[in-house]
A and B are shown apart, each in its own frame.
Chain A
């Protein structure tokens, strides 16, 4: 069964303290890896899609990278407003527009 596992479950950082979140997946084949941000009481907000090992994408202080077995979300010099739950997901089926399998998320707290 396809699985997506995220670590750590929770991460507490001081403002400006860079770190990385991990997402490992056992889905068969590489059909895309998605990162979302979720704030309390809100739906997930799309951040990145990665399709190929070695691919990288950046947005402000976030950079997502992908290998054959895992993805990392690097957070450089985080600010308190980066505090949220970060979710990783992979497509359930080997075709476009399929449901996603989500990890449990990493709860990030950035302290000023």
Chain B
């Protein structure tokens, strides 16, 4: 079956530009997570949704970062006025609800380079 997909896979932005990163979760998965991964580091939590509700956005590094999931399926992570420190891989993951089994399945990520 189809896994989590993300687009674009690569994005180069000039400092100050706005970018939008898209995530298509596994069909039927109610939870969706965004992580940021710097080179040589593990993923770090940014924000997550259960259906369309954003339950926690405490990991967003600044108010330039905004995420939405208006219909409880596709999600968009938007970064306004990009800075060089925003360069990283942005990973999306989804998981189904139920029991104690809540493995998260990751997409391939979007590599953002801010020049």
Contact = CB atoms under 8 A, between A and B. Distances in A.
A99 B56 contact: yes
**Size bracket of the A interface:** 20 to 34
A49 B43 CA distance: 17
Contacts of A104: 40-42
B56 A96 contact: no
Tell me if B's interface is mostly helix, strand, loop or mixed: loop
Contact of A42 (B31, B43, B99, B108): B108
A102 interface: yes
Contacts of A96: 97-100, 102
A42 B109 contact: yes
A81 B25 CA distance: 28
Nearest to A88: B42
Contacts, number: 65
Interface residues of B, number: 31
B59 interface: yes
Contacts of B107: 43
Among B30, B33, B56, B104, the most chain A Cβ lie within 10 Å of the Cβ of B104
Interface in A27-51: 32, 34, 36, 41-46, 49, 51
Nearest to A99: B45
A91 B88 CA distance: 23
A99 B33 contact: yes
A97 B29 CA distance: 11
Contacts of B106: 36, 43-46
Interface of A: 4, 32, 34, 36, 41-46, 49, 51, 87, 89, 92, 96-105
A-B pairs with the 5 shortest C-beta distances? A102-B42, A43-B106, A99-B45, A97-B31, A97-B102
7 contacts: A43-B108, A43-B109, A44-B106, A49-B101, A97-B31, A102-B43, A105-B42
